[in-house]
Amino acid sequence: MFAKLTNNWILKLISLAFAVVLWFFVIGERKLEVSYIVPLEYQDLAEEMIIANEIPSSVSVRISGPRALLMNHSAGDVSIAVDLKDLPAGITSFKRLEESLNIPSGLKVTRIAPSYVDVKLERIREKTVPVRVVLAGNPVAGVRIKKVQAEPARVAVAGAGSELKAVTEVTTEAIELNGVRESFSQTAPIDYPGIYTYLKEQKTVEVEVLLELDPDFKPVEAEEGETPQS
């Protein structure tokens, strides 16, 4: 019995190895379908242009193909490049995004959403607008605000002309006055909520708040037995 098992053992071992390799090959050729969230990379935007509409940063993609290929393919290997080089101002529609997907041959895109992207480009414009200082609260009783000023008093805003035309001023973050008795100055960040426009250079201003005694202030007279309030 043992002699029969060991007879031609080399040939049998080769046959077993071949069967194992064939099994792995069959398993590897099984079709799979995998979903990815693929980043969109907007490339080569001209310096004088700005994207002036909401655009997706990624798309949902389903890819099918042999198991062996997909097992060796990770989400980090997949991206889609959107080429903005030399595009004029206006809206450009990028369709059939799957054709720009960098995947190996043998894999197939079965679904992509969204399947296209509209990109609106505008030339960057610039304008100078005044800074309005925002104050919160009031100084102590008997003291009033004499003057508030920002340095610089005007700052440059740049970006898409369609949004820029509606910008008439920028404001600071609120400066707290509650309990303040004396004049002061402080650095205040500019609170600018632009979407397709931005502060070009100046992000903060130096704010000076000048206070003075209020000549019309009359202290509340304390009733008998009460301590006068300062």
In the block, tokens 């099994």 appear at 23
**What is the pLDDT of the chain when averaged over all its residues?**
85
Write the pLDDT tens digit of every residue in 123-163.
999 999 999 999 999 999 999 999 999 999 999 999 999 99
Pick the closest to residue 82 from 124, 51, 106 (CA basis): 51
* φ, ψ for residue 17, nearest 5 deg: -65, -40
Q: Are 170 and 153 in contact (CB under 8 A)?
A: no
Top-level class of domain 30-115 = mainly beta
Tokens of 38: 């693929």
**DSSP characters over the chain:** -HHHHHTTHHHHHHHHHHHHHHHHHHHHTSEEEEEEEEEEEEE---TTEEE-S---SEEEEEEEEEHHHHHT--GGG--EEEE-TTPPSEEEEE--GGGGB---TT-EEEEEES--EEEEEEEEEEEEEEEE--EES--STTEEEEEEEEESSEEEEEEEHHHHTT---EEEPPEE-TT--S-EEEEEEEE---SSEEE-S--EEEEEEEEEE-TT--PPPPPTTSPPP-
pLDDT at 197 over 80: yes
Radius of gyration of the chain (CA): 35
Full-model pTM: 0.71
Write the pLDDT tens digit of every residue in 129-140.
999 999 999 999
CA–CA dist 177, 30 (Å, integer): 71
The better pLDDT of the pair 28, 80 is held by 80
At 109, is the pLDDT very low, low, confident or very high (cuts 50, 70, 90)?
Answer: confident
Q: Where are the domains of the chain?
A: 30-115, 124-213
pLDDT at 221 over 70: no
The residue type found at 80 is I
Considering only 4-8, 29-33, 159-163, which range has the smallest mean pLDDT?
4-8
CATH topology of domain 124-213: RNA Polymerase Alpha Subunit; Chain A, domain 2 (2.170.120)
Q: Are strands 31-43 and 80-83 parallel, antiparallel or unpaired?
A: parallel
Same fold, 30-115 and 124-213: yes
Q: Is 170 exposed, middle or buried (0-12, 13-18, 19+ CB in 10 A)?
A: buried
Considering only 56-70, 108-122, 153-167, which range has the smallest mean pLDDT?
56-70
Mean pLDDT of the region 3-14: 58
CA–CA dist 152, 137 (Å, integer): 24
